[in-house]
Structure 1
Amino acid sequence: MSEKRKMIIDCDPGTDDSVCILMALTHPDVELLGITTESGNLTADKTAANALRILEYMDRGDIPVAQGMMHPMLREYPKDPYSHGEDGLGNHFFPEPKLKISEKSPAQMIVDAVLENPGEVTLVCTSCLTNVAVAFMSRPEIIPLIKEIYHIGGAYGITEYAFRNATGDNPMSEWNIFVDPEAARIVYESDVKLTSIGLDIAFNPEAVNISEETLEKLRGIGNRQAKYALEIIDYIDGNNSIEEEGIFINGPIDTTAMCCFLNPEIMTDVREIHVAIDCGGPLTRGMTIWDRRDHFRWEHLPKIRTVFAVDGEKYQETFYQALGGT
């Protein structure tokens, strides 16, 4: 058997992020080195506490959790319009965690893991990128030593779902970029190997809705992670699925990034594109601007890899298997 793949989750649990943590904890081919939390869906004190709650739920106190800053790099924390419940975990109301936060900062946790395992650590980022940007600014020598970053981020206009379901607080942005576009710009312009999964894919119901067949299979597993995932899916379906507004996603959308990491064959079309991140005015702050012109294209804009299409059946199969299915 091959060695396990080393990863850090940079996240803001959050309903969908919490399912990503479960998948990383239980997948047989993954070694979760740590969890770094952001101020995204909730402020970092709450997201760190929720990460600890999930670890306690799974009896995995061996995984360190580092708490990030209480705000983005250059502005106040904006409130997420998406509903994660009163507790951020779909109203599970777990008790206060007994596990403690790591003494390391998120940036230090990332730097140490990469330097100790050069070329082996993947970051699966399901939130804004404040922690990663701080790590890159403090120790830029780690950038070429990172194996890869998978980031749920951006809205590119590849499919109609990108801007119909824009999640940032303006018509053109996605939440994870909108929260801290300055941090996203640092990471996206760093030349790190980055694969972005935008709303074009993560909010495409044809690709990432969890089918009734998969739900029934999950019910048959009977373990605690499948039980929790089903409860989160039920919460999302009941609280964030607004069909008349074009939002009808029952899947925890951040798991798209986790599934792409676990099984890259899910990504059936990945392309390099030139992208700039707008850090400016209220209408477009956090917009991922893809220069797709045939003529006069700005070749100096940074290049990233972006997912244009996924195999929906493979996504669901990977989602099921990561929660204990066979």
Structure 2
Amino acid sequence: MASAAGEPKKIIIDTDPGIDDAMAIFLALRSPEVEVIGLTTIYGNVYTTLATRNALHLLEVADRTDIPVAEGSHVTITKGTKLRVADFVHGADGLGNQNFPPPEGKPIDMSATDFLVEQANLYPGKVTVVALGPLTNIALAIQQDPSFVKNIGQIVLLGGAFAVNGNVNPAAEANIFGDPDAADIVFTSGADVLAVGINVTHQVVLTGVYLHDPTAMLAAINPSLITYVEGAVRVQTNGITRGLTLLYNKQKRFAEITEWSNQPSVKVAVTVDAPAVLKLVMKRLME
């Protein structure tokens, strides 16, 4: 949703830092087009407690301790505690085993869900959530406040593998696989959702490293960098294809009433200007 002329877009980053999350957070902080009004934390690359610690640490490194951090859910939306945590990618501390000292700051005395709902109510239509991990916090906000889906400006999420193999298994991408039930709630909520899946982020490569999170962040900051299609998205929540994201383009009409019928449309990114994304990432992070 467009902000007033010259006014930076307010964004909340829902994050599980994570090395590529760190890049995306620093990228947002160096982008004059947006104002980061808060970080909310979630499990994914690390458990939620460590995600919160890392978020506080990154804001201290950036000298932006004015930005609040709200701790998110420690379990999936169905109260699942057996979480998939990608410490084998990001190191035991989530930031490449650098063993940073503990941050001085603390998270605010408000849950991520409450913070998301509060900010959407404070600035109706003006807040973009950039969701870089499993979608539990966002789904909880949708469940908690029925007006959240119309108060939130847009939800730009890193997630899904549309018509390509996943990165957890052939069916599923990691963030959707982390909480498929939450993802299905978000996709069918009626909110303005833009999904940036690995079918797009795998096109943005920095000397062998895929820039997943920075690409999703730049899609929120500058939507002209991507193209998208619209349709209904459902998430498979069990079985061998648990975590599968399937886009229904609504071009064919089916006679039967099914779980696909009358679902709201979301946007799914299909192409990205990879050279422009790489150039922006390098320019803003190297300045």
Question: What TM-score comes out, normalization by structure 2 length?
Answer: 0.90
Equivalence for 2:58: 54
Q: Distance in 2 between matches of 1:140 and 1:299?
A: 21
Unaligned 5+ segments in structure 1 are 212-248
Q: Which has the larger displacement, 311-320 or 96-105?
A: 311-320
Which residue identity lines up with residue 143 of structure 1 in the other structure? V
Task: Give the counterpart letter for 2:115 in structure 1.
Answer: M
- Which amino acid in 1 is paired with 2:188? E
Contact kept in structure 2, 1:129 and 1:184, CA below 8 Å: yes
Secondary structure, counterpart of 1:39 in structure 2? coil
1:147 aligns with one of 139, 143, 153: 153
The residue that corresponds to 2:205 in the other structure is 209
Q: Give the counterpart of 2:247 among 278, 285, 290.
A: 290
> Structure 2 counterpart of 1:155, which letter?
A
Structure 2 unaligned residues grouped into runs of 5+: 255-259
Tell me: CA distance 1:46–1:9, structure 2 relative to 1, closer, same or farther (3 Å): same
1:49-198 equivalent positions in 2, closer than 5 A: 49-74=53-78, 75-81=80-86, 83-157=89-163, 162-163=164-165, 166-168=166-168, 170-198=169-197
2:241 aligned with 1:279: no
Verify the 8 A CA contact 2:120 2:127 in the aligned structure 1.
yes
| Percent sequence identity over aligned pairs | 35
Is the 8 Å Cα contact of residues 231 and 250 (structure 2) preserved in structure 1? no
Bigger share in helix: 1
Task: String of CA shifts for 1:161-188, please: whole Å, max 9, x gaps.
Answer: x30xx223x3201111111111111111
Cα distance in structure 1, aligned partners of 2:20 and 2:120: 26
Distance 1:97 1:286, change over 3 A: same
CA positional deviation for 1:292 = 5.6
Conserved 8 A contact 2:202-2:210: no
Residue-by-residue CA offset, 1:73-106 (whole Å, 9 max, x unaligned) = 2212323345001210122221111101110100
2:266 maps to 1:314: no
Displacement of 1:293 in angstroms is 8.6
Q: Do 2:40 and 2:70's aligned partners in 1 also have CA atoms closer than 8 Å?
A: yes
Q: 1:184, 1:277 within 8 Å by CA — same for their partners in 2? A: yes
The answer (yes or no) to whether the contact 1:27–1:323 under 8 Å persists in 2 is no
Contact residue 185 and residue 277 of structure 1 kept, 8 A: yes
Match of 1:36 in 2: 40
Distance 1:299 1:39, change over 3 A: same
Q: Given the superposition, is the C-alpha separation of residues 167 and 118 from structure 1 closer, same or farther in structure 2, using an over 3 Å criterion?
A: same
Q: Does the residue aligned with 1:83 lie in a helix, a strand or coil? A: helix
Aligned partners of 2:263 and 2:63: how far apart in 1? 45
Q: Does the CA-based 8 Å contact 1:263-1:318 persist in structure 2?
A: no
1:254 aligns with 2:213: yes
| 1:254 aligned counterpart, secondary structure | helix
Q: How far apart are residue 252 of structure 1 and its match?
A: 3.2
Return closer, same or farther for 1:60/1:317 CA change in 2, 3 Å cut-off: same
Q: Is the 8 A contact 2:160 2:244 kept in 1?
A: yes
Q: 1 CA distance for matches of 2:251 and 2:139? A: 32
**Offset at 1:259?**
1.0
Q: CA deviation at 1:295?
A: 4.6
Which amino acid counterpart does residue 235 of structure 2 have in structure 1?
I
Structure 1's 77 and 256: CA in aligned 2 closer, same or farther, altered over 3 A? farther
Contact 1:15 1:252 in 2 (8 A): no
Structure 1 CA distance for aligned equivalents of residues 250 and 222 of structure 2: 32
Report the CA distance between 1:23 and its aligned residue. 1.3
Mapped to 2, the partners of 1:34 and 1:77 lie a distance apart of: 28
Alpha carbon RMSD of aligned pairs, Å?
1.8
